[in-house]
């Protein structure tokens, strides 16, 4: 459950990015993107399942997980889309049209890379993406309004806040060991300021530059999936986004919250497997 190692690195325009691959070299490429405040660790089960058919690429966004966290770092979603575009070139995937599966902030990053930077995908699966106005939990909104105040919390109170916040992403509740793996990166000397930095740079209006008309230009087969009990991004957004993207399919996971990878990993892997077949 806790074994997850990103053993390779890439020096991006926003700092060092840690990444790795699973599956057979040369197999069809599939890239997984995580969201906030998570890391590629949330994809561990799904990645291993999909590695039977794909060469799966996983990575931690700059400012998250095992990747670089540093003062003054640009971790805006616009920059993350640029870094993703760089990484695809570094991996030699720019012309191979990989399958991309993206969660939360990662959904916006994948959509922006496609619509703004011209990155082409073979297929695109979005899992509870942060893409339309109305996203964000009440906690995220509060933290975004007062980042300077919360960033001064004593470490013990900061850990308690982050633990409670991340646990609310699951509807049935997370295993304590999984929760600790997701909380730990934010509770180091570098991690605590990085937690508030990414919230401060990505306010609730950060995704507003991609409009309904932009989403109508998505030119790849797309699957929109959502946890039916998502307390962070309302499930009504799933229907709205699927209606905007031409030909998009929609799948809801009953009983799952925002973190579908933890709440319904087997069903998610099966749905992704069928979509990518």
Q: What is the pLDDT of residue 277?
A: 85
pLDDT above 70 covers a percentage of the chain that reads: 99
Residue 3 has pLDDT above 90, yes or no: no
Q: What is the pLDDT of residue 189?
A: 96
Q: Where are the domains of the chain?
A: 9-134+205-276
CATH architecture of 9-134+205-276: 3-Layer(aba) Sandwich (3.40)
| Mean pLDDT of all residues in 119-138 | 96
pTM of the model: 0.96
Closest listed residue to residue 82, CA positions, set 124, 120, 113, 61 = 113
Residue 1 has pLDDT above 80, yes or no: no
Rg (Cα) of the chain, in Å, rounded? 17
| Both tokens assigned to 218 | 């998505």
Calpha distance 249→242 (Å, rounded): 7
Calpha distance 259→64 (Å, rounded): 16
- List C-alpha distances in Å: 221 to 38, 105, 125, 210: 26, 20, 8, 18
Q: What is the pLDDT of residues 84-109, one digit of tens each?
A: 999 999 999 999 999 999 999 999 99
Q: What is the pLDDT of residue 2?
A: 61
Calpha distance 273→265 (Å, rounded): 12
| Both tokens assigned to 49 | 């399942």
DSSP codes, 24-42? -TTSPEEEEE--TT--GGG
Q: What is the pLDDT of residues 9-57, one digit of tens each?
A: 999 999 999 999 999 999 999 999 999 999 999 999 999 999 999 999 9
| Both tokens assigned to 189 | 């000397």
What's the mean per-residue pLDDT of the chain? 96
């Amino acid at each position: 459950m806790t074994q997850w190692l990103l053993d390779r690195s890439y020096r991006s325009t926003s700092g060092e990015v840690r990444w790795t691959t699973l599956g057979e070299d040369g197999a069809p490429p599939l890239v997984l993107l995580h969201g906030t405040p998570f890391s590629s660790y949330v994809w561990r089960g799904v990645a291993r399942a999909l590695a039977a058919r794909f060469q799966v690429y996983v990575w931690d966004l700059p400012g998250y997980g095992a990747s670089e966290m540093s003062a003054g770092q640009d971790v805006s979603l616009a920059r993350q889309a640029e870094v993703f575009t760089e990484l695809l070139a570094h991996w030699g995937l720019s012309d191979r049209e990989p399958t991309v599966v993206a969660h939360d902030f990662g959904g916006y990053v994948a959509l922006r890379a496609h619509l703004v930077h011209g990155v082409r995908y073979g297929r695109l699966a979005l899992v509870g993406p942060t893409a339309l106005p109305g996203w964000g939990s009440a906690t995220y909104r509060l933290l975004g309004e007062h980042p300077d105040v919360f960033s001064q919390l004593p470490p013990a109170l900061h850990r308690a806040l982050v633990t409670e916040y991340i646990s609310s992403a699951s509807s049935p509740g997370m295993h304590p060991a999984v929760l600790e793996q997701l909380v730990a990166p934010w509770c180091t000397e570098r991690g605590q300021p990085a937690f508030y930095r990414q919230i401060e740079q990505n306010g609730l209006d950060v995704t507003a530059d991609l409009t309904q008309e932009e989403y109508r230009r998505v030119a790849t087969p797309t699957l929109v999936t959502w946890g039916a009990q998502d307390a962070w991004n309302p499930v009504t957004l799933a229907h709205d986004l699927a209606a905007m993207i031409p030909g998009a399919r929609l799948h809801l996971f009953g009983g799952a919250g925002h973190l579908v990878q933890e709440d319904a990993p087997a069903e998610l892997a099966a749905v992704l497997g069928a979509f990518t077949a």
